């Protein structure tokens, strides 16, 4: 029986691909855009943090393409990778909390115990915050919007709009209807008849302040 040969692993590529153009200026611009792309920035950080053995096996174009695909998935509303990442981070932080707590219990001096426990509780707090973020992504909170009409004095506030100024403008326009010009007002009453005689008036007597208290 002939054993199948395993195909050799291709040598990892280390160059960042850039689309060339007949115009050198366009080529330079394409390379500059590739350098400042967010997926390239993430790749540079990942490469700097990895061990030399893993970094040597990392294919640069494939890694950049994967990071770009993850970003496009988030833009389309697919949060699968983000949820997996947060779940893994919460587990890693929990592991860090356990290990730091063990190191704290191994110490013989109180300052060392306090230092390790402070780091352990900080890792535990970050793990809890990561789980809360994951829960928010899975079940986003519902926001209820309520409209309110509030009236204070002559002003009416409706959905954040003050209607008092409009009311004053209407009042000013209505008052102008009752004026002819130069401040004169119309008198809509019928003219009254002229009275020729006045009613008899009695003469006011002399008032003595001492006698008539």
Tens digits of per-residue pLDDT, 45-101? 988 888 888 888 889 999 999 999 999 999 999 999 999 999 999 999 999 999 999
141 pLDDT band, cuts 50/70/90, is: confident
Same domain, 153 and 129: no
Same domain, 102 and 92: yes
Asked whether residue 103 is domain-assigned, the answer is: yes
Asked whether residue 97 is domain-assigned, the answer is: yes
Query: pTM for the whole thing?
Result: 0.56
Same domain, 125 and 100: yes
Per the model's pLDDT, the better-predicted residue between 183 and 100 turns out to be 100
Q: What is the pLDDT of residue 75?
A: 92
Same domain, 127 and 179: no
CA distances 151 to 117, 156, 161, Å, are 57, 4, 11
Q: What is the pLDDT of residue 53?
A: 84
Same domain, 74 and 124: no
Residue 130 has pLDDT above 70, yes or no: yes
Q: What is the pLDDT of residue 142?
A: 79
Q: What is the pLDDT of residue 175?
A: 53
Asked whether residue 107 is domain-assigned, the answer is: yes
Asked whether residue 190 is domain-assigned, the answer is: no
State the total domains in the chain: 3
Q: Which domain holds residue 48?
A: 13-78
Same domain, 74 and 84: no
14 pLDDT band, cuts 50/70/90, is: confident
Asked whether residue 39 is domain-assigned, the answer is: yes
Same domain, 153 and 163: yes
Asked whether residue 201 is domain-assigned, the answer is: no
Asked whether residue 131 is domain-assigned, the answer is: yes
């Amino acid at each position: 029986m002939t054993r199948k040969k395993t195909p050799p692993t291709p040598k990892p590529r280390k160059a960042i691909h850039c689309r060339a153009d007949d115009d050198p200026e366009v080529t330079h611009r394409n390379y500059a855009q590739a350098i400042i792309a967010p997926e390239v920035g993430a790749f540079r950080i990942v490469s700097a943090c990895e061990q030399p053995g893993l970094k040597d096996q990392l294919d640069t174009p494939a890694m950049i393409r994967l990071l770009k695909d993850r970003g496009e998935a988030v833009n389309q509303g697919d949060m699968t990778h983000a949820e997996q990442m947060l779940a893994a981070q919460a587990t890693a932080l929990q592991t860090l909390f356990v290990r730091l707590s063990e190191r704290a219990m191994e110490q013989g001096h109180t300052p060392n115990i306090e230092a390790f426990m402070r780091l352990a509780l900080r890792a535990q707090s970050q793990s809890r915050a990561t789980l809360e973020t994951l829960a928010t992504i899975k079940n986003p909170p519902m926001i209820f919007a309520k409209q309110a009409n509030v009236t204070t004095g002559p002003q009416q506030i409706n959905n954040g709009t003050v209607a008092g100024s409009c009311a004053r403008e209407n009042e000013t326009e209505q008052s102008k209807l009752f004026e002819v010009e130069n401040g004169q007002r119309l008198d809509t009453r019928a003219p009254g008849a002229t009275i020729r005689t006045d009613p008899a008036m009695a003469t006011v007597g002399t008032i003595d302040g001492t006698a008539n208290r």
